[in-house]
Amino acid sequence: MPEIINRCLLRGFSSSSILSVLYFFLSTAACSTSYAYLHPTLFSQHTQFRWACIFGSATAALYTFQHFYRCRDVLLHSDVRRHRYFQIKTQIPSLAMSSFKLATWAMLAGLLLRQSAFPGLLQLIATWLPISVCLFGWLVGHALLMIVLNERLRLKERAESVSYPLLITQGLSSEDGVVQDLTLVDLADTCEEGTTAAVAARQMLVYADQSGLHSWVPVANLLIGEVRDLTTLVASALPLIPSDKSSGAVRLGTAAAAAQWNVKSATSAFQRQNMRDMELAAWALRSKYSRFECALRILSSLAAASRGEDRYGVLLLCEPGLADVVLNMASALLALQQYTKMMTSRSVEINPATLLSSAVSLFFCCPAHPCLRKVELLSHSLENRARTALYRIVLAFGPPIKSLLKEAKQKPAFGSASKLNALVQNFLDLKE
């Protein structure tokens, strides 16, 4: 039950999340009720208004539950992009089956809520068919919206050489989260490409401005902020363990903490878990996975490419610089390693919420959303992405990168200086 409440209502423990869910339910209830009552009149079939309200409310409740519980409002960008026609073609059969199932279960729920006599077979068919069509329209519209929003913007091909850096900075500074996500995905793909156009785009965006105030600094601040937010959320979910210091407890993975992550503490006072922090970390990994992944890809690509393309030394002279990028990536990797170990040790037991999630996905005959995967799988994927990103920078600069950490202006969000230096040394020795 807590898993259902957190995933369907709280959504990050904010009042705006509850209001958005209620607004979504009321809008779908009004639409389905109107459709169930007015559509049969086109065929000269009378439908009771009370039965239409019950049927429409049950339909809205089921659709809202499956929409938010299965995280269908979360936008995740896929690395494999096909044409719109082929994407929607493969989804049509499952969406039609889902609409029929939803309409059937909503009808059964309406019959249970209806305390009067049986409405009649003709009236049931007259309302079941339009509700099925209405649900099919909702599901297809949502699928089309996700397909369109997952397409790459390709700003470099549509913008002039002068306006491309301006488009990137404005897209990243936009208050609309969808615009930011699309800009991050397009920038990540552009930074990782090895074509001549991609090299020219990187030079215009980052390395052309000697001061870095109009290109590198705003972009780096936003990306490093995303990495630090990820590190802070994941580190806050780590358990407290006993310490000999006067503070009484330290966070797992810090300098004063023991490395035995799978050993339970004998003191019950240090076995408590901040459930709110754990839920926030899990929700952040599920809802912002694409943002975190793109931030790691962009930072590592720009930092590695600066070895041969940064003729003015922007990443070495500006703040935040290359040392801050390496420091925050290493800190994020340490936090993700500890978090993955902790969640993996907890996932040995069968979780009823996971079984319920799988049952809901099978019931609605739709493929499982990536957000419904286990949190440890998402954290392990981000851990591999952070490891790859750090390897890209270390291999590009070599041993001097270790001494560069001492020039970092920012403090690590997680981990001590000795652990970060040891981690970078492991990367130099190719032991990670």
pLDDT (mean) for 272-287 = 76
Per-residue confidence band for 140, with pLDDT thresholds at 50, 70 and 90: very high
Which pLDDT score, from 0 to 100, does residue 228 have? 92
- Picking from 241, 251, 225, 270, the residue whose alpha carbon sits closest to that of residue 414 is 251
Q: Which of 28-37, 149-158, 292-301, 412-421 has the lowest mean pLDDT?
A: 149-158
User: Which residues contact residue 388 at a Cβ distance below 8 angstroms, ignoring those fewer than 6 apart?
Assistant: 300
Q: What is the pLDDT of residues 189-222, one digit of tens each?
A: 888 876 777 777 777 777 777 777 777 888 889 8
The answer to whether 159 and 126 have CB atoms below 8 angstroms apart is: no
Q: What is the pLDDT of residues 161-195, one digit of tens each?
A: 557 777 777 888 888 888 888 888 888 888 887 67
Range with top average pLDDT, 72-76, 82-86, 113-117, 262-266 = 82-86
Indicate the domain borders of the chain.
2-149, 201-237+274-428
Is-above-0.85 flag for pTM?
Answer: no
Phi, psi of 151 (to 5 degrees): -80, 150
What value does the CA radius of gyration of the chain take, rounded to a whole number of Å?
26
- Picking from 414, 224, 238, the residue whose alpha carbon sits closest to that of residue 333 is 414
The answer to whether 309 and 199 have CB atoms below 8 angstroms apart is: yes
- Picking from 192, 190, 171, the residue whose alpha carbon sits closest to that of residue 182 is 171
H-helix segments, 114-215: 121-149, 155-158, 164-172, 177-192, 196-202
Cα–Cα distance between 313 and 34 in angstroms, integer?
A: 63
242: part of which helix (H) or strand (E)? strand 240-242
What is the chain's mean pLDDT, rounded? 77
Take residue 370 and report the two structure tokens written for it.
């990536």
Omega within 30 of 0 (cis) for the link into 2: no
Q: What is the pLDDT of residues 231-271, one digit of tens each?
A: 998 998 887 644 444 444 445 554 444 434 444 443 343 34
Number of residues assigned to the chain: 432
Strands 249-251 and 240-242, bridge-based pairing = antiparallel
Residues paired with 241 in a beta bridge: 250
Residues paired with 250 in a beta bridge: 241
DSSP 207-221: IS-SS-TTTHHHHHH
| Spacing of C-alpha 297 from chain mean position | 15
Q: Which amino acid type is present at position 362? A: L
Q: What is the pLDDT of residues 325-344, one digit of tens each?
A: 999 999 999 999 999 888 88
Output the furthest CA–CA distance in the chain (Å, rounded). Answer: 82
Which pLDDT score, from 0 to 100, does residue 388 have? 92
Cα–Cα distance between 343 and 345 in angstroms, integer?
A: 5
Cα–Cα distance between 376 and 109 in angstroms, integer?
A: 36
pLDDT (mean) for 285-312 = 86
Cα–Cα distance between 113 and 101 in angstroms, integer?
A: 18
Cα–Cα distance between 293 and 383 in angstroms, integer?
A: 10
Range with top average pLDDT, 55-64, 78-87, 248-257, 312-321 = 55-64
Cα–Cα distance between 432 and 393 in angstroms, integer?
A: 14
Neighbours of 324 (CB within 10 A): 25
DSSP 349-401: SPPHHHHHHHHHHHHTT-PPPGGGS-HHHHHHHHHHHHHHHHHHHHHHH-THH
Question: Could you identify the residue written with the tokens 């404005």?
Answer: 170
User: Which residues contact residue 213 at a Cβ distance below 8 angstroms, ignoring those fewer than 6 apart?
Assistant: none
Tell me which of 291 and 264 has the higher pLDDT. 291
